[in-house]
Amino acid sequence: MNSFSNPGHVAILGGGIFGVSTAVQLARRDIRVTLVTDGDLASGASGRSLAWLNTAGQRSLPYHALRLAGIDRWKTWRLNHPEHAEALHFSGGLTWAGEGESFRERHSYERSLGYDSVWVSAEQAAELVPGIDPGVIAEEGAIFNPGEGWVDLPTVIGILAAEVRDRGGRVLENVGRCSVVTEGGRATAIATEDSSRIDADVVVVAAGPQTPALLGEAGVGVGDDSPAAFVAVTRPVESDLQTVLNTPNVAIRRAVDGGLIMDSGWSEESIRIAQDGSLEIDDAVVARLLEEASAVLTGHPTLELDYIGAGYKPIPGDGEPVVGPVDELAGLYTAFSHSGATLGLLVGELLANEIVDGVASPLLDTFRPSRFSRGE
């Protein structure tokens, strides 16, 4: 068994949605918990995410099932927190193919899995998705996924962290770079930048794109394919858009303050990594991204940049989530995945259940860290 049964103290490294959701689940079960993060809560990948809640497209069946369960947890959370409805919307997702491509096969695959996927014409899309210019939709039509949505992760993370504190847990922000302390083949503590030590029966590493490096320092190998990425966030703009858009040149969703959050594959490929490790993004790239977003919106509004959120996007080496106990070191668990928003609440729940009860969910069978040590 990887952990203590009913551990007295769990230390969690990471202030994003995985770390905080795991912390709150443990606190609800009366486990003493300390969460540490190098900066502010949600200052990493969770704070610069499109946070699209979905399981659209073609992916492995176990991953699809996990994401479906993840979406379910968000819908339950929204029902239980009507006072925070502005932070979580289920107004669907709309996507269409680029020139020379077709999404008909994708639509058929989604339907074969029982995923709510509706093929719509441009005119039907305009009726279902206020705020979109139907003239930009592909001639073949588009896919509308009614059950999809988006979440403002910083808002939810703040709510969950407050609950952790209310239940007696500790949330330590801005402690600088941390590391996992190992002794006798077991993870025993988290060491902070100022050389202080947080002893624990169980340690959880959920530090987004920093996770593989932190595990590597402890002698654990996990495949890493995390690319440089950024989102552009606009100032508030008049638009009826509430649905998440995934178009050939830009993905867009509403922000809680009335602005828009957007990213794209082509804009991320333009990022330069400076010698000091910082990410450099051309103003011309950002300007084009804003133009692409304006082009798909009704009335083509002028979009003004508010800020850019840049960093690394957490993606495991094989693209699949990495969740659960680390075989090489007793008492060590991890959560590392690209789909942090969709899986955010669920992963915290499943990890907490396993840490406390020692019972693994079959949902996680194919996503264990051990697959990398086995060379799968």
Domain count, the chain: 2
If asked whether residues 255 and 213 sit together in one domain, one would say no
Burial 126-135 (b: 16+ CB within 10 A, else e): bebbebbbbe
Last residue of a domain, one of 312, 346, 362: 312
Domain final residue pick, 312, 327, 343: 312
Residues 106 and 132 in one domain: yes
pLDDT digits (tens, 9 = 90+) for 285-312: 999 999 999 999 999 999 999 999 999 9
Q: Based on the domain organization, do 280 and 230 belong to the same domain? A: yes
Q: pLDDT per residue over 269-282, tens digit each?
A: 999 999 999 999 99
Residue 4 lies in a domain: no
Domain that holds residue 189: 9-47+153-223+317-373
The whole-number pLDDT of residue 90 equals: 97
143 and 232 both lie in a single domain: yes
Q: Residues 302, 330: one domain?
A: no
Q: Are residues 175 and 131 in the same domain?
A: no
Confidence of residue 29 (pLDDT cuts 50, 70, 90): very high
If you average pLDDT over residues 79-84, what whole number do you get?
Answer: 94
Instruction: Calculate mean pLDDT across residues 321-334.
Output: 97
Domain boundary among 265, 280, 312: 312
Q: For residue range 88-131, what is the model confidence (pLDDT) as tens digits?
A: 999 999 999 999 999 999 999 999 999 999 999 999 999 999 99
Confidence check: pLDDT of 237 > 70: yes
What is the model's pLDDT at position 162? 98
Residues 288 and 235 in one domain: yes
Assess whether 171 and 287 both reside in one domain. Answer: no
pLDDT band at 195 (very low <50, low <70, confident <90, very high): confident
118 and 257 in one domain?
yes
- CATH assignment at residue 35: 3.50.50.60
Burial 252-272 (b: 16+ CB within 10 A, else e): bbbbbeebbbbbbeebbebbe
233 and 142 together in one domain:
yes
Q: Are residues 121 and 163 in the same domain?
A: no
Residue 119 belongs to a domain with what CATH number? Answer: 3.30.9.10
Residue 68 included in any domain: no
Per-residue pLDDT reduced to its tens digit, 244-261: 999 999 999 999 999 999
